[in-house]
Structure 1
Amino acid sequence: MSSPPLPLTTPALRVLFVDDNALVRESMRECIEVLGHQVVDVASAEEALVRLSQQGFDVLLSDLNLPGLSGIELARKVAEQHPTVHTLLSSGVGGSLDLARYGIRAGWLPKPLSMDTLEQALRDIARHGGPSAAA
């Protein structure tokens, strides 16, 4: 990830990060914490849904391709069950994805994800309630 983060001038967010790759989860958890936010990471959409029902989160950041429920299916369920949670989907499939086509409202973050891109998306949510990377 690129340049050092700017000092956090927005409220700290509670982020739930979902990715089935343990190394990616560890790396992303560290990045989110460096940016001054709280993070819980899980390996599946199903585990994310359990955590969402047990704890309050501001942001769901999920990989698109997950075993079991996909990131898109997870985003749909979160929108229905936890409408105040902001969703960001991420993938290395290239380009962007028209998430509205799938009937979901979420931000899109292409992989590899830079620290600047992550910081900006979380800052936009903290300040304005939505990501600038929205599809």
Structure 2
Amino acid sequence: MRILYVEDHEDLRETIGMLMEGEGRSVVLCESAEQGMAQDVQTPFDVVVTDVSLPGLSGIEFAHQLLTRNPDRWVVLCSGYELGKHAQAWGPHVRTLLKPFELEQLDALLREIEQALSAD
């Protein structure tokens, strides 16, 4: 499973990115939504995990652009505030993680996505 992780805080990006890696998973790290979009246009990722609060293009705007191109995309929005059901209404594969989240929560979510992708 190819994962794109977009986070503007370098330490967090490096740490979480490393922890997401595992058997059958490859992770590409970006510090901005603009960089993430450029990476995704070349070869779309299986799942995009993005911080909501990013400089420039926000994680919300980034998610909207990804979902406009493909409404069935898997997108995980990480936010310090509750997004509620609003984000999930964007598509069947949009999930949210409230920061700070436990690594077990992220891993469980990635396992759920892996199972769904293998069932397709």
Q: TM tier, shorter chain?
A: 0.7 to 0.9
Aligned match of 1:56: 44
Q: CA deviation at 1:80?
A: 1.2
The answer to whether the 8 A contact 1:58-1:84 is kept is: no
Residue 97 of structure 2: SS of its match in structure 1? strand
- Note closer, same or farther for the CA distance 1:36–1:118 as it changes in structure 2 (3 Å cut): farther
The sequence identity of aligned pairs, in percent, is 34
Per-residue CA deviation, residues 69-103 of structure 1 (Å, 9 max, x unaligned), is 1111111000012444300000123x4433348x6
Query: How far apart are residue 37 of structure 1 and its match?
Result: 1.6
Candidates 64, 72, 75, aligned match of 2:60: 72
What is the CA distance between 1:60 and its match in structure 2?
0.4
Aligned pairs (5 A) from 1:1-135: 13-34=1-22, 36-93=24-81, 95-100=82-87, 104-105=90-91, 106-129=94-117
Higher helix share: 2
Distance change (3 Å), C-alpha of 1:120 and 1:58: same
**TM-score of the superposition, structure 2-length normalised?**
0.85
Runs of at least 4 residues of structure 1 off by over 4 A? none
Q: 2:87 touches 2:96 (CA, 8 Å); kept in 1? A: no
The 1:36/1:116 distance shift into structure 2, 3 A limit, reads farther
RMSD value, Cα: 1.9
The TM-score, its normalising length taken from structure 1, stands at 0.76
Q: Deviations over 1:40-88 (max 9, x none)?
A: 0101111111100012310000001001111111110000124443000
Q: Which runs of 5+ in 1 are unaligned?
A: 1-12, 130-135
Aligned residue pairs, count: 115
